[in-house]
Amino acid sequence: MIAITVSPLVCISRRASASYVSRYRIVPQRFKELTTIFLLRHGETVWNEAGRFQGQKDSPLTERGQQQADEAGRRLARELERHPGQIDVHVSPLGRTKKTAARIARYVPLRSRDEPRLMEVTIGSWDGMSHYEIHMEYPGMLEGADAFNWFFRSPDGETFDAACARIKEWLSQLRSTTIAISHGLTGRLIRGMYLGLSREEMLELPVPQTGFYRLQNGQAQYIE
């Protein structure tokens, strides 16, 4: 189990700007004390395996992805034994998350609801393409972008600010322990906002498909 604890003083010194802090930092301490979030990513898909960024398009879970979802369900069931009381389940309405949620429900038989604010960040016309295809079809658009910021270079995709705004809205409305089944990039933003990280730090967070994160008391613990 890996625990990530972020000192408020360190966060302030590393955040990008005052305007960023006022808009997206943002998870009040009282919220952290009262609310626990179990954050899961969907299992591996055909396009994950092929190196294509799915965005808000879809591809089926691979056999490995189905096994990952089953294992996540078993782990989550064990973890929830220590969390009595009301538990809400919010699921991105995209196909890969719905299929993952259906497999998890075999072990955690709770009613879920679709939550569009948990959908993956879309990169517009680049959805479904590989990094190489984007480089070839849109020459120069990725120039100077690092391994993660290129997601927000698309001319018709969702902006970083827009993605953070919908996630902030979702977080602000949570009132009980919540299981969230979401995506790689969106999951980075959720964890980063919860921990008060800068944009650069958020986009460098790992996004494994074999476990899940428990966000509680200002920490993000990886459960595997």
Active-site residue, 120 included: yes
| Active-site annotation holds for 133 | no
**Tokens 């398009």, residue?**
57
How far apart CA 184 and CA 180 sit, in angstroms, is 12
> Residues 42, 90, 115, 158: which is the catalytic one?
42
Q: Do the annotations mark residue 44 as ligand-binding?
A: yes
Q: Is 48 annotated as a binding residue?
A: yes
Residues whose CB is less than 8 angstroms from the CB of residue 46 and which lie 6 or more positions away in sequence, other chains included:
59, 60, 62
Residue 186 CA: distances (Å) to CA of 71, 122, 193, 196, 203 = 22, 10, 11, 15, 10
**E strand map for 23-144:** 37-41, 87-91, 112-114
43 annotated binding-site participant: yes
Q: In DSSP terms, which residues pair with 219 in a beta bridge?
A: 5, 216
d(CA 167, CA 27): 11
Report the 10 Å Cβ neighbour count for 134: 19
The Cα 215–Cα 116 span in angstroms is 20
Is 47 annotated as belonging to a binding site? yes
Q: Within 10 Å of residue 3's Cβ, how many Cβ atoms?
A: 9
144 annotated as belonging to a binding site for a ligand = no
42 marked among binding-site residues: yes
15 annotated among ligand-binding-site residues: no
Do β-strands 112-114 and 87-91 pair in parallel, antiparallel, or remain unpaired? parallel
Q: Which position among 71, 115, 120, 158 bears the catalytic label? A: 120
Q: Is 45 annotated as a binding residue?
A: yes
- Where is the binding site, in residues? 41-48, 96
Residues labelled catalytic: 42, 120
- Where is the binding site for substrate, in residues? 41-48, 96
